[in-house]
Amino acid sequence: MQVTGQGITVFCSASTAVAPAYLETARALGTAIAEAGGVVIYGGAHVGCMGSVADAALAAGGRVVGVIPTLLVEKEVAHTGLTELIVVDTMHQRKAIMSERAAAYVVLPGGFGTFEELFEVITWKQLGMHNRPIILVNVAGYYDAILAQVALGIAELVIKPEYGQLFIAVENVVDAMSVLAAAPEPELPIETWF
């Protein structure tokens, strides 16, 4: 996939208490997307990994689009220095716009919101609603437990083995950008999702 001009949706934490390695990875990703000519699409906050990915992309001359619900604007976490800030009423609208503008998804460490976003786009891909790359950046083993749970689901036959290919786990930003460059991923046959 040619990243230039493409929206790369990034899901990640807004926590201000995250490990420095997570913030460093967010900055590296923002820089890499901008240098490749991509557009960062993200949740619109100025704090945590969200703020780091946005600030780094902007500093590298990139374009950044934030999508944030009014509730979070009112809590004063909206990033006001973006290329574009879209304020919506609900979290559902936020995710819909972030997905509409996505050519690919990159997932960094995050909490419940990030987990929910990750599993939603995986489920949409399973159902044939999109065929965009989903890249999980497993910084310092953060997602090891989720990867183990997916492997258990496959072993227990509640997840089809081929659905283990719906996303790709990598350890760093360099590998994530390599996956993006090699996309599109091969389409999986989706006769039935169950």
* φ, ψ (nearest 5 deg) of residue 9: -80, 125
Q: Domain range holding 127?
A: 7-182
- Is 88 among the domain residues? yes
Half-sphere exposure of 122 (CA within 13 A, CB side): 23
* Mean pLDDT for the chain overall: 94
* Residue 153 located in a structural domain: yes
Residue-wise pLDDT for 157-179, tens only, equals 999 999 999 999 999 999 999 99
pLDDT value at residue 186: 42
Summarised one tens digit per residue, pLDDT across range 113-139 is 999 999 999 999 999 999 999 999 999
For 42, 48, 76, 174, the CA distances from 26, given in Å and listed in that order, are 12, 9, 21, 12
Establish if 190 belongs to a structural domain. no
70 belongs to a structural domain: yes
User: Residue 109 is which amino acid?
Assistant: P
Categorize the per-residue pLDDT at 191 as very low, low, confident or very high, splitting at 50, 70 and 90: low
Whole-angstrom distance, CA of residue 121 vs CA of residue 99: 8
Give the model confidence (pLDDT) of 51-77 as tens digits: 999 999 999 999 999 999 999 998 889
Q: What's phi and psi for 188, nearest 5 deg?
A: -90, 140
d(CA 67, CA 54) in angstroms, rounded, equals: 12
In a domain, 189, yes or no: no
Q: Which amino acid is at 183?
A: A
Distance separating alpha carbons of residues 192 and 173, to the nearest angstrom? 33
CATH (domain of 94): 3.40.50.450
192 assigned to some structural domain = no
What residues pair up with 137 in beta bridges, in sequence order? 170
In a domain, 58, yes or no: yes
Question: What domain count does the chain have?
Answer: 1
